[in-house]
Amino acid sequence: MAFQNKNLSVIAYANGFTLWHYKANETLATITASGYFSSVNSLMNTGDIILINGSNGTTMKSIAVSDGVVTVASLS
């Protein structure tokens, strides 16, 4: 299954920062793969945070956008 826009929502937005939530019946490995969120690259910004609920657990990641490709990474 591919990214579903209906499963993406904004939890909070302030000062150019967005806290996102995404829930899907896919594994975290699939959802956190590079480019999974690229179809909404114009909505997301580097430094945003996303809370992801997948079929095998929950994780929180940071977002990076470069040349239209969205990647997620562990929070540091």
- What gap in Å lies between CA 45 and CA 32, rounded to an integer? 16
pLDDT tens, residue by residue, 54-68: 999 999 999 999 999
Judged against a pLDDT cut of 90, whether residue 1 lies above it is answered with no
- Does pLDDT of 72 surpass 80? yes
Q: What is the DSSP string of 5-58?
A: GGGEEEEEEETTEEEEEEE-SS-HHHHTSTTTTGGGTTT--TT-EEEEEETTEE
Is residue 48 very low, low, confident or very high in pLDDT (cuts 50, 70, 90)?
Answer: very high
The Cα 17–Cα 26 span in angstroms is 26
Q: How far apart are CA 62 and CA 71, in angstroms?
A: 8
The reported pLDDT for the residue numbered 43 is 97
Q: Would the pTM count as exceeding 0.85?
A: yes
